[in-house]
Amino acid sequence: MSQNKTTHAVPNRAMPQTATEAHRHVGDAAGLRILVTGANAGIGFWSSLQLAGRGAEVIMACRNTRKAKAAAQAIRARVPAANLRVVELDVASLQSVSETAKELNGLTHLDVLIANAGMVHTPRTRQRSMDGLELVAATNYFGHFALVAGLLPVLERAAASRVVALGSLSTLLVRPRLDDPQLLRNYSSWLAYAQSKIMLQSFAFELDRRLQRSSSSIRALGAHPGYSISGRTPAVVGVNEPRAFKRATDTLQAPFAQGKDRGAWPIVRAALDPEAFTSEGPVFYGPNGWVKGGPTTTRPASITTDPHAAKTIWNAAESATGISLLG
């Protein structure tokens, strides 16, 4: 294992603007082992594809292993030498998270954990996970909190590892109810999604603060994909197959929307950018056009960088999961 894994990272510039350019720098991630949750579709699939194309070993952690294997096959069709591994993970189940963390701690090291899996199309009425937690918060935040806690040992064994949490533009658009993290009162599907993303994003920045205080070699940061939609995304059999009507309606949004292939660029940048280790937090990446464009560092929603809110959000996860992390 090299002394500094970040020597393989993407140069600090905007991602290429064409599909050909996007895969020109194969080898940037050579030697890195990267875990992507929810890797079988959406941003997770495209992040996995681009990282595999750059030479990384990608562990695709997915709830549905059949879909994950189909996605892996699609990646190999585009990157024949792709080094992929599929593991089963349901982030909405604390037992599944614990079992997967135990399995992956048998690895020599883990360089990057991308906390991508999540519910975008949230239920209209409040639902509970098998652990009795509000389902959207359990999937988007609590499960990843537990996964990070379980994988800290294998992350520490890497020379310089990082945790990347997927944020969202929705964090700028709502006033969260942090006194009710599981929305026991006045649930709404939109608030459930946006609040879960606020909590995950805040967790990443607070995790980074606590890791730095403990002199850990791990960094934690965030990234968001802008406004990335299926109808603007290249078709991939078994992964992204929008119908003609969806293509047509999404094309009308072209001035302020992009495909999920481009939405993955800030996530890949966050996973590989060497400057993430020299920048003072919070470190956050997104499209340079806010909703679309090449990746750049950007300013996160203020609520996600508030230390007081972060303490409340952190405590909510410890209470929900029963896990004490970096206390």
Q: Which residues, in sequence order, are CB contacts of 224 under 8 Å at separation 6+?
A: 166, 167, 168, 169, 171, 266, 284, 285, 286
Q: Which pLDDT tens digits describe the chain residue by residue (327 residues)? A: 333 333 333 333 333 333 333 433 434 899 999 999 999 999 999 999 999 999 999 999 999 999 999 999 999 999 999 999 999 999 999 999 999 999 999 999 999 999 999 999 999 999 999 999 999 999 999 999 999 999 999 999 998 999 999 999 999 999 999 999 999 999 999 999 999 999 999 999 999 999 999 999 999 999 999 999 999 999 898 888 888 998 999 999 999 999 999 999 999 999 999 999 888 889 999 999 999 999 999 999 999 999 999 999 999 999 999 999 997
Question: Which one-letter amino acid corresponds to residue 160?
Answer: A
Give the Cα separation of 317 and 133 in Å (integer): 11
CATH domain 23-321 topology: Rossmann fold (3.40.50)
- Give the residue numbers marked as catalytic: 193
Full-model pTM: 0.91
CB 232 within 8 A of CB 259: yes
Give the Cα separation of 80 and 109 in Å (integer): 24
CA distances from 300 to 51, 193, 203, 206 (A): 24, 17, 13, 13
